[in-house]
Amino acid sequence: MGQKILITGGTGLVGSALIPMLKKQGHEIVVLSRSKSRNADYKVFVWDYKKEYIEEGAFEGVDTIIHLAGAGVADSKWTAERKEEIYNSRTKTSILLFKELEKGGHQVKTFIAASAIGIYGSDTGNNIILESAEVGHDFLAHVTDAWETATNKVTALNIRLVQLRVGVVLSKKGGALVELLKPPVAAPLGKGDQYMSWIHIGDLCRMFITAVENTELEGVYNAVAPKPETNKSLTKQAAKAFKKTFIPFPVPSIVLKIMLGEMAVIVLGGSRISSAKIQRAGFKFRFPKLEQALADLGDK
């Protein structure tokens, strides 16, 4: 039996890949967006967290909410305004959804929220990190912690909550892979030995679908593939898969800090995140190894 699913952030990298897959599974999709889309093949309701506004009827008949909204962390330099937008677009949207649900008069039973491995801090070294690890101390850890705290509110309404802490998403349509392969040649960043906990976009979408359909799933899960790779290894394998020249000389940290400012922590830090918990829950990766993921993405 298909569900009616309300999605926020439906036009982002994950949302635009997830919606067609959900529809294929027989689910009906409605989307909360900042503006009406003329050519969307789903119904769009307008919302604006700054005005605390959600268009009437958005929650009508909805069984599940998938909350993906949030300003892109790597889209532009971290000015004070941009950092505020990164924070508010996650926390305030979550609180707005909670307030709407709190009013009642709906049938929402499940809330699936995107989160991020950034909650553990931008650099956790070589330790293997489980969901029980403590929260980091930098900007993105602070944002992600506040984001999860805001989405946690829905559990008080007897709604099943799943939070997927998403790693580095590999897709041909955007994200880290596209950025790594943008320059004329591919090279490691910083020392190059920092771990990147990646996931193929298809596996991530299947994980969201599993969270929707398997009512036993509850709480936080790391959404990363089982085998993290170092930045150097990932860049080298990606260059090979996409027929780019790889140069083993790393781009120095100082250059990245000058170019990216505070945002450089995203590429200079690293984490080895464990996927054991979601695998114990029965999730099977289609692309558990990087070479499989890149072969699939490189083919298309």
User: Which residues have CB under 8 Å from 56's CB, separation 6+?
Assistant: none
pTM: 0.95
pLDDT in the model for residue 242: 92
Tens digits of residue pLDDT in 198-212: 999 999 999 999 999
**Eight-state DSSP code of residue 134:** P
**Single-letter residue type at 255:** V
pLDDT of residue 113: 98
**For residue 267, what are its two tokens?**
């590429």
Contacts 24+ apart (CB under 8 A), 137-146: 138/265, 139/78, 139/83, 139/262, 139/265, 140/73, 140/116, 140/265, 140/266, 143/86, 143/87, 143/90, 143/91, 143/118, 144/90, 144/115, 144/116, 144/118, 144/119, 145/119, 146/87, 146/90, 146/91
Q: Which of 203, 225, 209 is nearest to 286 (CA)?
A: 203
Amino acid at 240: K
Residue type at 210? T
Q: Model confidence over 23-76: pLDDT tens digits?
A: 999 999 999 998 887 677 889 999 999 999 999 999 999 999 999 999 988 888
Cα separation, 272 vs 198, whole angstroms: 10
pLDDT at 89: 95
**218 burial level (CB within 10 Å; 0-12, 13-18, 19+):** middle
What are the residue ranges in the chain where pLDDT is below 70?
Answer: 38, 299-300
How many angstroms separate the CA atoms of 280 and 239, rounded?
33
pLDDT of residue 299: 56
